[in-house]
Structure 1
Amino acid sequence: MKKTLLAVPFALASCLAAVPALAADATDLGAGFSLSGNATITNDYRFRGYSQTDFRPAAQLGLDLTHSSGFYLGNWNSNVANSVFADGNLEMDFYGGWKGDVGNGFGLDVGVLHYYYPGSTSPKGGNYNNTDLYIGGSYANYSLKYSYTPGDFFSAPNSKGTWYLDASATFDLGDGWGLLGHLGYQKLKNAVDTDGDTLGHYVDYKLGVTKDVKGWVFGLAAVGATKDNWYATKNGHPAGRLGLLASIQRTF
């Protein structure tokens, strides 16, 4: 792992947002419980604009247990690069919360998300890990989510109080086609970029299209960050540079 990564490690949440979306299809378990899953293959795993796989492919799998009351528990997993998380090549996310309609078409989502990297070696000793508290709101096809890290951000020393604001929108274009857009604002504490300059914040973005073909969702999107050199890939490229994501997802 490069020196800049030792100071400022990074992780997940996604061509995918901080919490993987609950799958549309579900198996009724009775007593109000449902179980659903999602599987994705993508040419690069980006979290808040930055590659977690050194611009290489990722295979991802998630499971969600939901209750008719709105409470949910979930797990999501992806391979990552050990050049980003020293000695680690797997990310495991565990989350839980409540999500539901609070009236007049407005939705509320509150919960906690824990990121864990088994086998990795963090600057603080032990495995890389991180816990976020989040609250989100939605209306029609628009959503806004705020995530706060009460401890050190992904095991980076003296980084408590980091937060992230995620604004997203999706549009149904008909005939299985969809359009998606995302802007995120990442606030950092005691972070530096690859040039050794202070990095207090940046904006990440995503714009793409999807096509549903008999339940298989194909996606193509442009993604990146306004300050793309927080850290570099093992080949020295800015990990947040503009890139093209191609993905295939299936829910079950």
Structure 2
Amino acid sequence: MKLSLTIAGAALLVAAQPAFAQDATDPPREITVTGSVALVSDYRFRGVSQSDENIAVQGGLTVSHSSGLYAGTWASNLAGWGTFGGSNTELDLYAGFKKPIGGGAIDVGLTWYMYPGGSDKTDFAEPYVKLSGTIGPLSLLAGVAYAPKQEALGNWSFTGANAQDVLAGGDYDRAGAKDDNLYLWGDASAGVPNTPLTLKGHIGYSDGNPGLGPNGTSVAPTGKYWDWLLGADMAIKGTPLTVGVAYADTDIGKAESAYLLPNFSSAKGKSIADAQVVFSVSAAF
């Protein structure tokens, strides 16, 4: 699960832009197709690992029209907390409209999160609004995503123990429940002069159900929490490659998430919301 893109995915699109820059003499294109692929050491969605703190392969494709309309898809493999059966894959479909405003842009759209071959009760839709602009050397983005009440976001299991009972044939605490989810975030990035480095930062706030959904997971597992990220990307000169490193963390403590166990831990028993250094290699096309 992700916002339209994870912070790593957003960095990929930023890196992709030079690869599609047009010559000043070329006429504007009506349709533009951009894409990226990446290998990451851990897929973090709003600070929580979706790949059991293991490697994930990700990729996306976006088709944009000169009017500002766009549509695309993005996918990643999953494991552990993010396992939904079937191919253990997240497939996001998104569409929206981006319009220049002032010195920046406004972007309004919707993401549909789905898990091919898995439980259809875990699919959900999330509209979003993003504002972007620049202040001096800083590129800034602020966003809000609000998913209305849906079964995938419902508090079906009050504890991880009940989620495990369900796997053994038991009943949910609150089967069929529907809840909503709010996510607020801000991103900032800046290039380091005379270097191929870009520094980046992210902070987000989640407000959703404090339990577990119909597949033992939740978009906002402890109800309300903060997540943040600090990192850097380096473009490899003469190639479409970008390498990155980032420190990701949340304010979810062991005591706060204890009721989610055993679901909220990796195969090694570590909390999947603890601090983690994430490495990435990406290519734009």
TM-score by length of structure 1 reads: 0.83
Supply the distance in 2 between the matched residues of 1:225 and 1:17 (Cα, whole angstroms): 19
The equivalent residue for 2:162 is none
1:3-152 aligned within 5 A: 11-13=1-3, 14-16=6-8, 21=13, 23-24=16-17, 25-26=19-20, 32-81=30-79, 83-88=81-86, 89-103=88-102, 105-121=103-119, 126-140=120-134, 141-152=139-150
- Tell me: CA distance 1:83–1:137, structure 2 relative to 1, closer, same or farther (3 Å): closer
Letter of the 2:97 partner, please give it: W
What do the CA deviations read for 1:1-24 (whole angstroms, capped 9, x no partner)? xxxxxxxxxx33424368974741
- Paired letter, 1:201: K
- The alignment status of 1:247 with 2:280, answered yes or no, reads yes
Q: Which of 212, 215, 218 pairs up with 2:243?
A: 218
Residue deviations 1:195-235 (CA, integer Å, cap 9, x gap):
xxx93300000000111112311100100111154622233
Tell me how far 1:87 sits from its aligned partner. 1.7
Match of 2:160 in 1: none
Q: CA offsets per residue over residues 118-168 of structure 1, 9 Å max, x none?
A: 1223xxxx3521210000111211110000011327353435221100111
The verdict on how the C-alpha distance between 1:19 and 1:177 changes in structure 2, with shifts beyond 3 A counting, is closer
What amino acid is the match of 2:8?
L
Note closer, same or farther for the CA distance 1:250–1:63 as it changes in structure 2 (3 Å cut): same
Q: 1:186 matched to which residue of 2?
A: 206
Identity %: 28
For residues 18 and 37 of structure 1, the distance between their equivalents in structure 2, rounded to whole angstroms, comes to: 11
Q: Secondary structure at the match of 1:161?
A: strand
Question: Which one of the candidate residues 186, 194, 207 is aligned to 2:230?
Answer: 207
Q: Is the 8 A contact 1:15 1:45 kept in 2?
A: no
Distance, in Å, in 2 between the alignment partners of 1:153 and 1:17 is 27
Q: Does 1:162 align with 2:161?
A: no
Change (3 A) 1:132 1:115: same
Return the letter of the residue paired with 1:131.
Answer: A
- Pair 1:246–1:19, CA change in 2 (3 A): closer
Contact 1:209 1:219 in 2 (8 A): yes
User: How well do the aligned residues superpose, as a CA RMSD in angstroms?
Assistant: 2.6
Alignment partners' CA distance in 1, 2:180 and 2:186: 20
Instruction: Report which of the two structures shows the higher radius of gyration computed on alpha carbons.
Output: 2
Does the CA-based 8 Å contact 2:43-2:50 persist in structure 1?
yes
Q: How many residues align?
A: 233
Residue of structure 1 aligned with 2:252, choices 227, 230, 241: 227
Q: Deviations over 1:85-126 (max 9, x none)?
A: 2324101000000112112x03101000001001223xxxx3
Q: CA contact under 8 A between 1:148 and 1:161: conserved in structure 2? A: yes
Pick from 159, 178, 190: which aligns with 1:171? 190
Residue 177 of structure 1 deviates from its aligned partner by 0.5
